[in-house]
Amino acid sequence: MRTIQGVGVSAGIAIGTVRVLAAADHAVERRVIDDPQAEMDRFRAARDMAVAQLKQLRDNVAAEFGENKAELFDAHRLMLQDPDYAGCVEGLIAQDKVNAEFAVKSVAEQFAAMFAAMDSSTMQARAADVEDVSRRVMNVLQGKRDSTAQDGSIQGDAVQNGTVQNGTVQNGTVQNGIAQNGESHIIFAQDLAPSETAQLDRAKVLGLVTAKDSANSHTAILARTMGLPAITGIGDAFDPTDDGHVAVIDGASGAVFVDPDEATLTECQRRKAEAEEHLSLLRKLKGKPTETKSGQRVHLYANISRPSDVAAVLANDAEGIGLFRSEFLYLEREDWPTEEFQFDAYRQVAQEMGDRPVIIRTLDIGADKQVDYFNLDHEDNPALGYRAIRICLTRPEIFKVQLRALLRASAYGNIAIMLPMITSVQEVRDAKRILEEAKSELRGEHTDFNESIQIGVMIETPASVIMADELAAEVDFFSIGTNDLTQYTLACDRQTPSLERFADPHSPAVLRMIQMTIEAAHRHGIWCGICGELGADLSLTDTFLCLGIDELSVSPTSVLPLRNVIRNH
């Protein structure tokens, strides 16, 4: 057995035969041409044909996966129609008297390098996009078949000697995406372009493994949309001789097992069976309202820590995101995340979620979540110390960067802001004042944002429960953080293992705190949810429903079991 570790970008387990997709040779000969104008006309005709192909591909993707997933190919069409792109190609043809294929390839490399050098992850992802669309134009110029044909898993065009010819990988050998004996398979490739991924035949392709690392690329997003387990970034471990061998891939952990031993295969088969049972539950409950038999409706959301988690949210049919732990954007960096970096992350989540709510908690640094570049002083009891909203209000220059990014991203989706670790009304008012300053700055810059963006607070301290009536008058919603609420109510540090027997989240004191919070919210006409671990505790679901909870936000994998319990209540 050979074990390879990559980056899991689309969850799921696939077991099958490997089919290696050899890298296409995109070498282009440079030729001197006599008639630059005729060559420019030739480029324009090829570009128009490529745009038409992308329109067909866009329609195919929209029909199968929805309009929001097809928007990528609208963006690809716009790239080809961009005057700067076309101007650079035509300028190179006119100035250097080179053939159109060479000009397109040269401009693609120039634009891709420019995008790859940018700080924004969103713009970096454009490098692969511009290469993809330029390759399509070159294919048309070289007379290759339309890659939007619907006859196979790799429907499309490449050339001889290890590339695709009319849908076939020579010496590889995948013909129309199907192994020659007709079996389903796992594709191993150096890389896959978004258009190639969108045209995979899911009836025959079990999963994807690529050498290049593209966890946040459109290719990874499409794999998640298509429900294909996918792993990227295996690098030098990519070996064409794996073709024909049996492999197991785990799209959650990023593990690849080539020629797995019996124990590994048995364990993966067991986990795959569990996942299929979960999928059966998904098919049964997907799109069904989360409501009891008596008609009591509950909003069922999911918790995430990073943009890549959105795939699991959508795959498990959550109705929204009830807690985006934004501090992970800080924890996973060695220096301050810029406004642009945060904006890209929040916008990506908002756009992928569409109309579904996305509740983003402002940074909750401190206590057990320490970041070196914050230069926080040592504290004997950090859980009761300088953390969360206390840092934000005493270091407003940090807070405002995040608020500006959140406001800007609110123009792209249904974003709400949630303040953690609140203990007083004054803290909320001070936070809202800084928010208003950020809004005023953005108005002055003529930057769009949602003027009526909702503001909520986390109820996770006894003080916030006692002040719930006054707090409810200041905000649009409550979300109860049961982990900290249990800790502070019972005076038990949740990081101390010896206190586990005393830190009982089912304590009547904790449940009464939850009841008081819900009642205060409803008295003031706002909704109240739970985003802590207790929300997924199925032994308490009936209790929460009886208390009148409006929303539960849990880990993505807990969504369907919880929906099932609620619908049977």
Query: Would you name the residues annotated as active-site residues?
Result: 218, 531
Which token pair is 277? 């049972």
DSSP output for 175-220: ETTEETTS--EEEEES---HHHHHT--TTTEEEEEESS--TTSHHH
How far is Cα 264 from Cα 270, in angstroms, rounded to an integer? 10
Asked if 179 and 19 touch (Cβ cutoff 8 Å), the reply is yes
Kindly report the CA angle at 428 between 422 and 430, in degrees rounded to 5? 125
For residues 160 and 149, is the Cβ–Cβ distance under 8 A? Answer: no
Bridge partners of 210, per DSSP, are 189
Residue 553 phi, psi (nearest 5) = -120, 120
Task: Tell me the two tokens of residue 14.
Answer: 């696939």
Q: Which of 107, 87, 88, 101 is nearest to 32 (CA)?
A: 101
457/417 Cα distance (integer angstroms): 8
Structure tokens at 87: 């101007």
| Residue 446 vs residues 408, 413, 538: alpha-carbon distances, Å | 11, 18, 48
Instruction: Tell me the sheet residues that pair with 18.
Output: 186
Q: How many Cα atoms within 13 Å fall on the side-chain side of residue 483?
A: 11
Q: Which amino acid is at 538?
A: L
| 3 membership: H or E segment, kind and range | strand 2-5
Please say whether the beta carbons of 382 and 494 come within 8 A.
no
The overall longest dimension of the chain from CA atoms, in Å, is 87
DSSP for 110-135 reads HHHHHHHTSS-HHHHHHHHHHHHHHH
Please answer whether residues 424 and 463 qualify as being in contact, where contact means their C-beta atoms are separated by less than 8 angstroms: yes
| Distance separating alpha carbons of residues 424 and 395, to the nearest angstrom | 18
What pairing do the DSSP bridges indicate for beta strands 255-258 and 2-5?
antiparallel
Residue 349 contacts residue 314 (beta carbons within 8 Å): no
The helix or strand, by DSSP H or E, that contains position 417, with its residue range, turns out to be: strand 414-419
* Secondary structure (H, E, C), 535-556: HHCCCCHHHHHHHCCCEEEECH
